[in-house]
Amino acid sequence: MHWILQTNLFQEAEWARLVEALERFDLPYSVHKVIPFVGELEPVPVLQATKAVCFGSYSMRHSAKAYGWTPGVYDLFDQDFLVQKAAWGDRMLNADSRVMAFQDVRLDGPTFLRPIDDSKYFAGRVFDADEFEAWRQRVCDLDEDYGTSLSPTTQVQLCTPKTIHAEYRFWIAGGEIATKSLYKLGSRVVYASDVDDRLDQFVLQAVADWQPHRAFVIDVCDTPEGPRIVEINTINSAGFYAGDVQRLVEALEDLER
């Protein structure tokens, strides 16, 4: 495939690992500026292969669709929390979430909140009641623009905070684990490639039951109740952490042959 890369998006070390892998396999790639939100690419890509895949901001899906690239972006926008819950049920960490419009949310204590889809409107986290209400009023009453398309009608999920021992990212291609990484240990950010096999088995069983796309990222965590699914993410826009980028490139190339 021809790899379409967004400049200045990845951390320096991640960028180096990706480019090194592409050059090692002699795969064509080009680097582009991505115009925020609309996803237009500068300069206009000139493909050196019949297929193209994008790696960069989520807005690149607009260009991938406009150019008709295959696979372009493995887009998960329609596979929101409600779809995931229907497939995975109580294996979801936040299966107890309520879903409502952003403008209707009222908190009475610390609450986890995030959009129900992979929209990047805002990052999911625990909000205090006063902090959230001040933000809600700025968005809904003052109509402040945060440059993310967040609106009063954006659908969000909210639930009680959970105890999490560690968090892991798995990159899935064709129903198999391409690579994996620890990215959080307790409250500390820790990147490591050593992941307990029981997490592998949990992920493979979930993927065997349902997949949101041919390639995607699934984040899972270890809790007092055992492994749980945190969320899924579009593989084209997910950070690499301590994942093996070479194995990821190989897996996606094999998937599209």
Q: pLDDT tens digits, residue range 95-128?
A: 999 999 999 999 999 999 999 988 778 989 999 9
Q: pTM for this structure? A: 0.91
CB 250 within 8 A of CB 128: no
Tokens read off for 191: 């990147």
**Is-contact 45 6, C-beta < 8 A?**
no
Residue where the block lists tokens 């790899």:
3
Categorize the per-residue pLDDT at 37 as very low, low, confident or very high, splitting at 50, 70 and 90.
confident
Provide the pLDDT for residue 36. 81
pLDDT at 145 over 60: no
Helix (H, G, I), strand (E, B) or coil at 189: strand
* Residue 121 CA: distances (Å) to CA of 70, 114, 156, 164: 26, 9, 10, 24
What tokens appear for 142 in the block?
Answer: 């003052």
List, in order, residues 6 or more apart from 129 with CB less than 8 Å away: 107, 108, 109, 110, 111
Q: Tell me what pLDDT residue 143 has.
A: 65
Measured CA to CA, the distance from residue 158 to residue 160 in angstroms comes to 7
Q: What is the pLDDT of residues 195-204, one digit of tens each?
A: 999 999 999 9
Q: Which tokens is 21 given? A: 């892998």
